[in-house]
Amino acid sequence: MSNEHSTGRKPQDTDSLDARDSGYFTEESSIEAVTQRNKNAKDDRVRFAMDVITRKLHEAVLEIEPTPDEWLSAIQFLTQTGHLCDDWRQEFILLSDVLGVTMLVDAVNHRRPSGASENSVLGPFHVKGSPTMEMGANICQDGKGEPMLVHGRILDTRGQPIHGARIDVWQANEDGFYDVQQKGIQPEFNLRGNFNTAADGRFWFRGVKPKFYPIPDDGTVGSLLNVLGRHPYRPAHLHFIIEAEGFSTITTHIFDPHDPYINSDAVFGVKKTLLAEFKRIADPVRIKDEGFGEPFWDVEYDFVMAVI
Amino acid sequence: MSNEHSTGRKPQDTDSLDARDSGYFTEESSIEAVTQRNKNAKDDRVRFAMDVITRKLHEAVLEIEPTPDEWLSAIQFLTQTGHLCDDWRQEFILLSDVLGVTMLVDAVNHRRPSGASENSVLGPFHVKGSPTMEMGANICQDGKGEPMLVHGRILDTRGQPIHGARIDVWQANEDGFYDVQQKGIQPEFNLRGNFNTAADGRFWFRGVKPKFYPIPDDGTVGSLLNVLGRHPYRPAHLHFIIEAEGFSTITTHIFDPHDPYINSDAVFGVKKTLLAEFKRIADPVRIKDEGFGEPFWDVEYDFVMAVI
């Protein structure tokens, strides 16, 4: 090598270039550097969403200041979460659930007038094509569990009954399992049914008292809940999808307010308007009137539908 | 069913419960509902990070207001990104890269005094154990490409040379491929080398002029870049890791400022202080002096190390 290179150019000699205009990266201009790059997006909605996501991600990095090892842990967490997903399990939805994101996305999409019934999460256990039944039918096919009578009305926001509302109900059994989780143990379509309201808007059917159950906690989401000092349980509930022509479909639960996990649903599905009351009825006259042979749980709840 | 249930309790009759205290979910209190739940975390750092991540995620949802289908698209994007990851490919790191997150995490971890060389991304192609060479050696083993002389000094922030600095350099070939991407085509450790500085802090070695190349763009990140109207290219660069006892290790690149992608690096690795100059030397005397048989590229760059 010759000696011509004895005075090396220092890296900071390139000050004439402006980092903002050039898109070169600095900690201070990082959000702008990235969002400016997205300005030719083919889809305005994607551009807008990615701009917000970029800004929030960078704000999070600036606030947390993750070490390189912590960043790598986050990468590995996401990778393992992806690897757990298959046709049967969706760990990213579970992650969205336990971070309250699923409920928030639902909330911003279903802002309803005061008094209208609120939504909760759909959950992974809804099954299309469950049987349509006559009012009063028992959706429990195997006789397991404490008997329950569920009844109420489907109303509009003026308190008028809705004729021809379709009620799709499903629930876990007394052990906290849905039929699809116990194929070969529970009958097909156990604890599921569809009902159609008459002009009085009333519905009534029989089931069994539901029980709390854990979300799948043997994956990354379970590990996260564990380190966050959180349990994986959902309080006892009944699922409903209620549809009627001209009204916003309600996808929701009703909850037992006396459940031990009612204040700490792992997926934040509980809203105070969704608390029903589960009354234990031991009065022999009522037991006889309702056609039960033993004490039963009486659950009364009216759903209020908002016009579209 | 008896007629005792004629006046159903309306859901909104449970006003005595306070949503904030109970942890029940509302759109307005969603961040608090989730972060309150994390207050018993076993690890303060994880709790803090998850509180920030939760807040930023909820803020993003409130600003974007994704439809249920858009939310599901995001879930599917993350799932597919996870499925693309294996021992050889890390699509989540690539996602972090193209969103500028990797560079920002590096930036917040390596704030250095003014004048000290800045970091860039490590990238996936660093290989440990590449050969240690004498100054002046040619790291190009297969003779492919336009010859290049790289030289400069390793200095401290007072401008004093650093003795015993270890320089680990690697680069792509004239087609934009690293040796590890072309096993059986390029020799092992092609375009890689380690050098140790003497008391004068100087380094010099030979290589070939690098070329721009694309990041892997056949996965979810490539699809994202496409819809964002972005190309997948990284401008031509040389990689360096420079270590010296008592100084903060520099992991960085130097870039060719005349590269067509210098203002639009897909992973935001370019900083203005990392622009070198690639001078084409056609002067027969210089060519002879440096021992080349044809015109060559002269790249001079000084690295400035900050004390730990």
* pLDDT tens column, A217-264: 999 999 999 999 999 999 999 999 999 999 999 999 999 999 999 999
With H, G, I as helix, E, B as strand and everything else as coil, classify residue B156: strand
The DSSP code for B120 is -
Cβ-defined contact of B25 to A75 (cutoff 8 Å): no
Q: How confident is the model at residue B4 (pLDDT cuts 50, 70, 90)?
A: very low
State both tokens at A123.
């959950």
Strands A303-305 and B296-300: unpaired
Rounded Cα–Cα distance for residues A108 and A106 (Å) = 6
State both tokens at B298.
């002269």
pLDDT at residue A12 above 50?
no
Residues A59-63 have a mean pLDDT of 98
State both tokens at B282.
């056609």
Rounded Cα–Cα distance for residues B305 and B308 (Å) = 9
Spacing of C-alpha A233 from chain mean position? 13
Contacts of A300 in chain B (CB under 8 A): 5, 8-9
Closest approach of B185 to chain A, Cα-based (Å)? 31
CB atoms within 10 A of CB A174: 15
Rounded Cα–Cα distance for residues B150 and B148 (Å) = 6
Closest residue of chain B to A94, computed from CA coordinates: B75
Q: How confident is the model at residue B107 (pLDDT cuts 50, 70, 90)?
A: very high
- Inter-residue contact A296 to A282 (CB < 8 Å): no
pLDDT at residue B104 above 60?
yes
Q: If you search the block for the tokens 């900071």, which residue do you land on?
A: A12
Q: If you search the block for the tokens 């992806």, which residue do you land on?
A: A82
Contact of A289 with chain B, judged by CB distance below 8 Å, is answered with yes
Closest approach of B95 to chain A, Cα-based (Å)? 10
**Region of residue A271 (left: phi > 0; alpha: psi -120 to 50; beta: else):** beta
Cβ-defined contact of A8 to B61 (cutoff 8 Å): no
Closest residue of chain B to A18, computed from CA coordinates: B272
Query: A115 exposed, middle or buried (CB, 10 Å; 0-12, 13-18, 19+)?
Result: middle
Spacing of C-alpha A136 from chain mean position? 29
Which is nearest to A272 in space by CA: B295, B16, B178, B158? B16
State both tokens at A95.
């992650």
Between vectors from CA B202 to CA B201 and to CA B206, what angle results, nearest 5°? Answer: 150
With H, G, I as helix, E, B as strand and everything else as coil, classify residue B100: coil
Contacts of B263 in chain A (CB under 8 A): 22-24
Rounded Cα–Cα distance for residues B263 and A99 (Å) = 37
Query: A73 exposed, middle or buried (CB, 10 Å; 0-12, 13-18, 19+)?
Result: middle
* pLDDT at A24 (0 to 100): 83
- Inter-residue contact A248 to A306 (CB < 8 Å): yes
Contacts of A15 in chain B (CB under 8 A): 272
Among the partner residues B52, B92, B257, nearest to A60 by beta-carbon distance: B52
Contact of B3 with chain A, judged by CB distance below 8 Å, is answered with no
Cβ-defined contact of A27 to B111 (cutoff 8 Å): yes
With H, G, I as helix, E, B as strand and everything else as coil, classify residue A94: helix
* pLDDT at A51 (0 to 100): 97
Contact of B114 with chain A, judged by CB distance below 8 Å, is answered with yes
With H, G, I as helix, E, B as strand and everything else as coil, classify residue A22: helix
State both tokens at A32.
């702008």
CB atoms within 10 A of CB B150: 23
Rounded Cα–Cα distance for residues B252 and B248 (Å) = 12
State both tokens at B22.
């109970």
Rounded Cα–Cα distance for residues B222 and B225 (Å) = 5
Closest approach of A48 to chain B, Cα-based (Å)? 8
Among the partner residues B39, B109, B290, nearest to A2 by beta-carbon distance: B290
What is the sign of the dihedral through the CA atoms of B280, B282, B288 and B291? positive
pLDDT tens readout for residues B32-81: 999 999 999 999 999 999 999 999 999 999 999 999 999 999 999 999 99
* pLDDT at B22 (0 to 100): 59
Q: How confident is the model at residue A7 (pLDDT cuts 50, 70, 90)?
A: very low
Among the partner residues A24, A102, A153, nearest to B8 by beta-carbon distance: A153
Averaged pLDDT of chain B:
92
Contact of B34 with chain A, judged by CB distance below 8 Å, is answered with yes
Among residues of chain B, what percentage have pLDDT more than 70?
93
3-state secondary structure A185-237: CECCCCCEEEEECCCCCEEEEEEECCCCEECCCCCHHHHHHHHCCCCCEECCE
Q: If you search the block for the tokens 């349980």, which residue do you land on?
A: A233
Contact of A264 with chain B, judged by CB distance below 8 Å, is answered with yes
> For chain A, which domains are there?
15-65 (no CATH), 101-305 (2.60.130.10)
pLDDT tens readout for residues B111-143: 999 899 999 999 999 999 999 999 999 999 999
* pLDDT at A22 (0 to 100): 59
* pLDDT at B88 (0 to 100): 86
pLDDT tens readout for residues A116-154: 999 999 999 999 999 999 999 999 999 999 999 999 999
First to last CA, chain A: 80
Residues 173-202 of A with CB under 8 A from B: none
pLDDT at residue A54 above 90?
yes
- Inter-residue contact B173 to B112 (CB < 8 Å): no
* pLDDT at A23 (0 to 100): 65
ipTM of the complex: 0.90
